[in-house]
Amino acid sequence: MTLRLGDTAPDFEQDSSIGSIRFHEWAGDAWVVLFSHPADFTPVCTTELGLTAKLKPEFDKRNVKAIALSVDPADAHKTWIKDIEETQKTVVGFPIVADSDRKVSTLYDMIHPEVSATATVRSLFVIDPNKKIRLTITYPMSTGRNFDEVLRVIDALQLTDGYTVATPGNWKDGDDVIIPLTVQDPDVIKQKYPKGFRAEKPYLRLTPQPNK
């Protein structure tokens, strides 16, 4: 199954490190970062889950829940979590889905046969409170993810959901934003962008971030 931006994230019920989870029910009205791992007790994954645990305050500020997944069973997850907490000096406060039957991996197209016929690649999905997929990133097994980028994109998504703006390349929270080309009426521009704007080109108009 190929999932595209704007699709509804498939619901599922599956065992996890905290017991059985019904995904949509568990997500509630939060944003979700769902990310897969090739296997438990592997070095890159251990650092990624430790980093995610340490980012909990940042996720909480953005109303984001994290949930990981690998194809190992829940008992293995629980043992692995002890290793993560010991080596990464943190507390893993989010569930790890035990996808031993590959049900969720298949729903989310996380197994790429040319890489591995059984293990999930490093797929990551950002899902909004309406259960719509807003971002997909897939990394190779050997490359750890950049979670600063995940936070940056969530900031951009939440900003552009609330205001008629777009974000430029390398944008970070607090930087100027772009007035979309769909907004041309001068009166509408004055109303929507009271801080004013500068036009570097007729099609490139920058305005201060509206919620700052």
pLDDT for 114 equals 56
Helix boundaries (H) for the chain: 23-27, 43-54, 56-61, 74-88, 103-107, 147-162, 186-192
Clarify whether residues 73 and 173 are in a common domain: no
- Last residue of some domain: 91, 117, 144? 144
Which amino acid type is present at position 98? A
For residue 152, being part of any structural domain is answered with no
User: In CATH, what number is assigned to the domain containing residue 63?
Assistant: 3.40.30.10
Q: What is the token pair recorded at 117?
A: 């016929």
**Quick one: average pLDDT of 44-50?**
95
Nearest to 136, CA basis, from 95, 172, 108:
108
Clarify whether residues 173 and 200 are in a common domain: yes
- Last residue of some domain: 144, 175, 195? 144
Catalytic site residues? 45
For residue 157, being part of any structural domain is answered with no
Greater pLDDT, 152 or 138: 152
**Quick one: average pLDDT of 151-166?**
98
Clarify whether residues 111 and 189 are in a common domain: no
Q: What is each CA distance from 150 to 28, 108, 139, 195, in whole angstroms?
A: 20, 18, 13, 28
pLDDT digit string, tens, across residues 163-197: 999 999 999 999 999 999 999 999 999 999 999 99
pLDDT over 60 (residue 54):
yes
pLDDT digit string, tens, across residues 82-112: 999 999 999 999 999 999 998 998 899 887 7
Clarify whether residues 133 and 172 are in a common domain: no
pLDDT over 90 (residue 116):
no
Contact of 47 with 34, CB cutoff 8 Å: no
Structural domain harbouring 109: 13-144
pLDDT band for position 113 (cuts 50, 70, 90): low
Clarify whether residues 127 and 171 are in a common domain: no
Domains of the chain: total: 2
What is the signed CA dihedral for 42, 44, 46, 52, rounded to 10 degrees?
Answer: -150
Q: Report the alpha-carbon distance of residue 59 to residue 154 in Å, rounded.
A: 9
For residue 138, being part of any structural domain is answered with yes
Query: Above pLDDT 90, what percent of the chain?
Result: 85
